[in-house]
């Protein structure tokens, strides 16, 4: 994928600033880990990993039930609201992960599309969507270490997701299975990278942060 196309997609889908910040921080975490694992002798396509991370939530608006524009970090136009409202209606039935996968697949970006598809929360215990390659594993894990645009622990990220999406406490029956698999993935990634989870900090990933 060219840089021009990547930026074109972000512009085309009017990705809100706060979501762009999240994707950039996820990309920084993924690249920090990816470089360390690459240096250990594993083959990782860091370019594809970066591009997938910078697009993984390009259609996040598909999951919104309503537009809470007071929390958006930019000036909102009537055109923005009209576009986002139409987007929410057109792809709410598939969700942001599958919608982004379809867009990227239609563009012929099959590898990036597949990596993006594998970051779905429950994908970690799915036969079809379980991350298998290092690029898939790193995007999935990096996304679970970034709350908005802040690096947090897996425990904090899980708690944030539960409060945000299941405020009544009625968690899906497989929630504990995903949690268990996520900690297993964290151990695998950090062991291969030669670090501990606490070593993933704002300071350590800063050199990889998009401006």
Residue 7 pLDDT exceeds 90 = yes
Give the pLDDT of residue 159. Answer: 94
Higher per-residue confidence, 65 vs 151: 151
Domain that holds residue 184: 3-208
Residue 192 pLDDT exceeds 90 = yes
CATH number at residue 145: 1.10.3210
Confidence of residue 9 (pLDDT cuts 50, 70, 90): very high
Give the pLDDT of residue 6. Answer: 97
Residue 70 pLDDT exceeds 90 = no
Strand partners, 151: 146
- HSE at residue 208, side-chain half, CA atoms within 13 A, is 28
Exposed, middle or buried, 152 (CB in 10 Å: 0-12/13-18/19+)? middle
If you average pLDDT over each of 67-81, 127-141, 164-178, which comes out highest? 127-141
Would you list the DSSP string of 35-58? Answer: HHHHHTT----HHHHHHHHTTTTT
Give the pLDDT of residue 47. Answer: 97
How far is the C-alpha of 199 from the C-alpha of 1, rounded, in Å?
Answer: 31
Q: Taking phi first (over 0 means left), then psi (-120 to 50 degrees means alpha), and beta for anything else, what does residue 148 get? A: left
Give the pLDDT of residue 71. Answer: 78
Give the pLDDT of residue 104. Answer: 98
What's the rounded mean pLDDT across residues 119-136? 94
Residue 172 pLDDT exceeds 90 = no
Per-residue pLDDT tens digits for 34-48: 999 999 999 999 999
What's the rounded mean pLDDT across residues 73-85? 92
Collapsed DSSP state (helix, strand, coil) of residue 146: strand
Query: How many domains is the chain partitioned into structurally?
Result: 1
How far is the C-alpha of 192 from the C-alpha of 189, rounded, in Å?
Answer: 5
Mean pLDDT score of the chain: 94
- The residue to which tokens 């406490």 are assigned: 169
Q: What is the DSSP letter of 77?
A: P
Strand partners, 97: none
- The residue to which tokens 């409202």 are assigned: 85
């Amino acid at each position: 994928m060219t840089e021009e196309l990547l930026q074109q997609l972000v512009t085309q889908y009017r990705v809100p600033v706060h979501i762009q910040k999240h994707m950039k921080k996820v990309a920084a975490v993924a690249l920090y880990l990816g470089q360390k694992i690459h240096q250990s002798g594993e083959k990782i396509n860091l370019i594809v990993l970066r591009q997938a991370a910078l697009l993984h939530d390009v259609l996040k608006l598909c999951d919104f039930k309503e537009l809470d524009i007071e929390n958006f970090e930019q000036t909102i136009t009537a055109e923005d609201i009209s576009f986002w409202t139409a987007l929410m209606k057109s792809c709410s039935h598939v969700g942001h992960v599958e919608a982004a996968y379809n867009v990227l697949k239609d563009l012929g970006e099959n590898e990036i599309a597949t990596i993006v598809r594998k970051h779905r929360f429950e994908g970690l215990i799915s036969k079809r969507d379980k991350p298998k390659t290092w690029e898939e594993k790193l995007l999935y894990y990096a996304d679970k270490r970034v709350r908005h645009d802040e690096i947090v622990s897996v425990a904090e990220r899980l708690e944030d997701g539960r409060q945000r999406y299941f405020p009544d406490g009625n968690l899906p029956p497989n929630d504990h299975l995903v949690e268990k698999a996520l900690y297993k993935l964290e151990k695998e990634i950090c062991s291969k990278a030669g670090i501990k989870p606490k070593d993933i900090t704002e300071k350590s990933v800063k050199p990889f942060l998009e401006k």
